[in-house]
Amino acid sequence: MDDTTVRKRGEVGVSHIAALAGVSASTVSKVIHGRTGVSTGTRQRIEALIREHGYRKAENAEAVPIVEVVFQALDSLWALEIVRGIEHAVRPHGLAVTLTEMDGAHTPESAWARQMLARRPVGVIAVSAMFTEHQLAQLDSRGIPLVALDPTGEPSHPIASVGAANWNGGLVATRHLIRLGHRRIGMLRGPDELLCCRARLDGYRAALDEGGIPHDPDLVRSAPLYFDGGKDAAAELLRLPDRPTAIFASNDLQALGAYHAASALGLAIPRDVSIVGFDDLPITQWSDPPLTTVHQPLAQMGATAAGFVLALAAGRTIEHDRLELPTKLIVRGSTAAPPASTR
């Protein structure tokens, strides 16, 4: 019996994969490291064998000292806070951070996977991004750990993930407005495909139920998680004949857009309308008035995800592979009791 057929999964090297595939070791090496020059059929056959039998790295095939961070979009202070936390965690270990932006797509292109395999990072952190089954298998077969940060949905594979208590954040934000006396509370919801936005909306609804306030679908508007999205959606709410006296936004950028919409309509914050955001970005404490918001520990989330990557890369197990960090309400100057005429 050929010795390549009796080896345990994960014990085979390049030469054994090559023998099983009927190709040269250099061809297998090209596939493993994401290089070109291999036909689609041959690449698929080698990938299937790697998934089936596993692959043992050569002793001298060390990973490059980088952590790859993949963002759906890298265009806000929210993303920079996460990067700051990741970098702070990996720097003492002699590692650098490489950033990839997917231009708004939820799944990286196949070309990215080939390039990433060629870089051979210590690990990958996917921020609000999902990977295809094939991409997950490629990472797993090369022993490259993947951690999801603020995942867009429930991972189909057993992937370690780090998030925040989004439902509770939506609950406490809306509860705060209800306790101030507000009954007509608008909500700027984010994209439905984002798990965090669905959870914040559910928290908002739970607080309304708790306060005995009926759900009014006219007071909920879908908007992108950007300034312009918040501005346009808030303007729609504030132009209603029976407008809301308060607005809860799914993130701080939406909330700052709502500031602009209120000002354009001659409404003062918080005298005429109260506004609450979500994230607690540094700029919110300098807005006029300073924004009441839900603090999301973005830097800590990044550092925790990086810690997971380092542990998995070292072969250690993670005690809690689905970690949800707490959120808390930060009360500043953008919320107050509603106008007396509306009570």
The pLDDT assigned to 254 comes to 97
Give CA separation, 297 vs 84, 103, 326, 329, in Å: 12, 24, 8, 12
Residue 226 CA to residue 166 CA, distance in Å, equals 18
C-alpha 58/C-alpha 268 separation (Å) is: 66
3-state secondary structure of 259: helix
User: What is d(CA 221, CA 235) in angstroms, rounded to the nearest whole number?
Assistant: 10
Q: Which of 165, 107, 137 has the alpha carbon at shortest distance from 43?
A: 137
Backbone angles phi, psi at 257, to 5 degrees: -65, -35
Mean pLDDT (whole number) for 40-60: 65
Q: Quick check: 13 pLDDT over 80? A: no
Domains within the chain, CATH numbers bracketed: 3-53 (1.10.260), 64-164+299-324 (3.40.50.2300), 166-296+329-342 (3.40.50.2300)
Q: How confident is the model at residue 322 (pLDDT cuts 50, 70, 90)?
A: confident
81-85 mean pLDDT: 94
Give the pLDDT confidence score for residue 32 in this predicted structure: 67
What would the mean pLDDT of 106-127 be, rounded to a whole number?
A: 80
Interhelix angle 133-141/40-53, rounded to 10 degrees, is 60
| Three-state DSSP state, 141 | helix
CB neighbours of residue 186 within 10 Å:
28
* Tokens 């550092």, located at residue: 303
Residue 241: how many other CB atoms lie within 10 Å: 4
Higher confidence at residue 8 or residue 72?
Answer: 72
Cα 42 from chain centre:
35
Cross-sheet strand order for the sheet of 322-325: 96-101, 64-71, 121-127, 146-149, 160-164, 322-325
End-to-end C-alpha distance for the chain, whole angstroms: 85
**146-149 and 274-279 beta bridge pairing:** unpaired
Helices (H) and strands (E) in the chain, counts: 11, 12
pLDDT of amino acid 154:
67
Which has the minimum average pLDDT: 48-57, 105-114, 208-217, 303-312? 48-57
**Torsions phi, psi for 249 (to 5 deg):** -100, 150
Q: What is the pLDDT of residue 105?
A: 64
pLDDT at 36 over 70: no
Contact present, 234 and 264 (Cβ < 8 Å): no
Q: CA 209, CA 191: separation in Å to the nearest integer?
A: 23
Secondary structure (H, E, C), 76-116: CHHHHHHHHHHHHHHHHHCCEEEEEECCCCCCCCHHHHHHH
Cα–Cα distance between 130 and 154 in angstroms, integer? 10
Distance of alpha carbon 119 from alpha carbon 117, whole angstroms = 5
Lowest average pLDDT, out of 30-44, 125-139, 223-237, 240-254, goes to 30-44
Say how far apart CA 88 and CA 99 lie, in whole Å: 15
What pTM does this model have? 0.80
Q: Quickly state the pLDDT bin for 144 (edges 50, 70, 90).
A: confident
Residue 71: which of 249, 242, 232, 305 has the closest Cα? 305
So what's the pLDDT on residue 104? 61
